[in-house]
Amino acid sequence: MAALESSPLGFDPRVLTDQSSWRVADALYTGLMKKAPRGEFLPDLAESCDSEDARVWSCRLRSGVLFHDGRPMTSSDVAFTYESVLSEGFRSSKKQALRVIERIETPSPLMVVFHLRSPYSSFPNQLLLGIIPAGTSLEAARARPIGTGPFLFEFYRPDDRVSLRRFDGFYGEKARMARVVMRVIPDTTTRALELLRGSVHLAINSLSPDMLPRMEAASGVTVSRLPGSNHGYIAFNFKDPVLSKKEVRQALALALDRRAIASGLWRDTVEVTETLLPKDHWATDPDLPPLERDLERAGRLLDQAGFPERAEGRPRLTLTFKTSTDEMTVLQATAIAAQWREAGVETVIRSHDFSIFYEDVIHGNFRLFSMRWQGITDPDHYHDVFHTRSFPPGGWNRGFFSDPLVDSWIEKARQTRSRQERQRLYFALQRRLLDELPYIPLYRALTVAVHDSRLTGISSIPPTGDFTFLREIGRE
């Protein structure tokens, strides 16, 4: 019995946006490729997916793969899945990323060829999409989802639970558990109590840090801290005349004691980082210079930026920091404001309901804000958040950061198939961003699993927290 924080909004992998839906989909569907621990992509439904020029990708499919209803999976199902997303009138958050596909060919039942509009070395990241039977409508996928994953759908009781059963026709190693039930428990305290009672056996990243000591002291419950890939950051608005000054951004970064926030506020469920990529990712520069607190240097930089120290304790400058009303988010902003005050910077915190806060963020109505990127797997994420072409509404460069050098490195990394050359470009990119600071990197969140101590296979939970690990879970 695993806990979900909210009811899934659907089961069709083409249109999912919420975390609960994705967690169910992770057990029901598989894609041509799957994620590997260090950011690589490995064949899954495909035996291989290769390209010489990063523009034409040929994927040879496994033979003998069955859908949950017994139908064999072929290249026609793959083509349908992708082409339906790209079809006119189909609404999906995946459509923009998949527009790189010019056409799809199916020369045989076990061969599918993607022709792209331009070279794209990170295209395997788009091959994670769960494959569904050709002709599946949105209504059919909502009522009775059919995939190729290790579990098949039994029933969904709205606002209560989703029941899944082991699919014995699965092409890979069979799931260890005969049945998995995901219960919808929106309240954090209730989730914790259910874990303590033993009526729920697993919750991932869904308890507040201050609850963990009690869970660790409880009999029969274990708290496992595993590598994670969620990235916490502070973003700047480069249209702001104050924050567009690099010296100000650097001073704010140097005025932070991120380690104190990680240990005191987050109770060591996060670790300080200088990059948005996961720790052991192949594209992560292991030798990035750390952003250590240095109030004296921060003061000098503010002087250079035209904000000298003032008499009678008056602030050098005042900033507005937007957040949601989430308790931990507000506490974090309060801790950051207290540290900046020591450097002579006053911070006014504006907290709003998440929907209002997010609307302000996507429309550029902020000076500073803090959020998390969830489940980063591929370094092409830099294109979506820092490339000039990714200004809203076409991308997530919400601070309107623009740097020709950054743009050129991102584009070159997209076009080359050489892992060594891509790594060199991404290493240089990370150092440039650490100097320019469109974001202040705060931390990398660990994956925190609170679970029945008798469960086995917990170490197989991936850094993204995806529920693809469910087939590995057993019970002593």
Tens-place pLDDT, residues 41-72: 999 999 999 999 999 999 999 999 999 999 99
Query: Rounded to an integer, what is the distance from CA 391 to the centroid of its chain?
Result: 20
Is the pLDDT at 313 greater than 90, yes or no? no
* 315-to-234, 311, 333, 342, 344 alpha-carbon distances in Å: 21, 9, 18, 10, 5
In this structure, what is the dihedral angle of CA atoms 15, 17, 19, 20, given to the nearest 10 degrees? -50
187-217, pLDDT tens digit by residue?
Answer: 999 999 999 999 999 999 999 999 999 999 9
Interatomic CA distance for residues 162 and 184, integer angstroms? 8
Contact indicator for 413, 425 with CB cutoff of 8 Å: yes
pLDDT band at 476 (very low <50, low <70, confident <90, very high): confident
Q: What is the pLDDT of residue 69?
A: 96
Cα distances (Å, whole numbers) of residue 454 to 25, 227, 318, 375, 473: 25, 21, 52, 27, 10
Domain range 2-148, its CATH number among 3.90.76.10, 1.10.8.870, 3.30.420.590, 3.30.365.10: 3.90.76.10
Q: What is the mean pLDDT of residues 315-337?
A: 95
Tell me the pLDDT band of 410, cut-offs 50, 70 and 90.
Answer: very high
- Predicted local confidence at residue 393, as pLDDT: 82
**In the chain, where the domains are located:** 2-148, 151-226, 228-446
Whether the Cβ atoms of residue 362 and residue 399 lie closer than 8 Å to each other: no
Rounded CA separation 463/445 (Å): 9
Is it true that 2-148 and 228-446 share their CATH fold? Answer: no
User: How far is residue 246's CA from residue 411's CA, in Å, rounded to a whole number?
Assistant: 24
pTM attached to this predicted model: 0.89
What pLDDT is stored for residue 100 in this prediction? 95
pLDDT tier, 73 (very low <50, low <70, confident <90, very high otherwise) = very high
Query: What DSSP string describes 283-299?
Result: T--TTPPP----HHHHH
Task: pLDDT band for 374, please (50, 70, 90 cuts).
Answer: confident
pLDDT at 312: 80
**pLDDT confidence of residue 392:** 87
Buried b (16+ CB within 10 A) or exposed e, 324-350: beeeebeebbebbbebbeebbbebebe
Reply yes or no on whether the pLDDT at 107 is more than 90. Answer: yes
Contacts of 338 (CB under 8 A, 6+ apart): none
- Report the chain's mean pLDDT, rounded to a whole number: 95
State pLDDT tens for residues 126-181.
999 999 999 999 999 988 999 999 999 999 999 999 999 999 999 999 999 999 99
Helix axis angle, 419-436 to 246-254, nearest 10°: 90
pLDDT at 37: 81
Q: What is the DSSP string of 153-218?
A: EEEEETTTEEEEEE-TT-SSSPPSSSEEEEEE---HHHHHHHHHHTS--EEES-S-GGGHHHHHHS
**Cβ–Cβ < 8 Å for 14, 25:** no
| Class at the top of the CATH hierarchy for domain 151-226 | alpha beta
Over residues 375-401, mean pLDDT: 92
Confidence class for position 18, pLDDT limits 50, 70, 90: confident
Asked whether residue 394 carries a pLDDT value surpassing 90, the answer given is: no
More confident residue, 293 or 312: 293
The architecture that CATH gives domain 228-446 is Roll (3.10)
What residues have CB less than 8 Å from 394, skipping those under 6 apart?
96
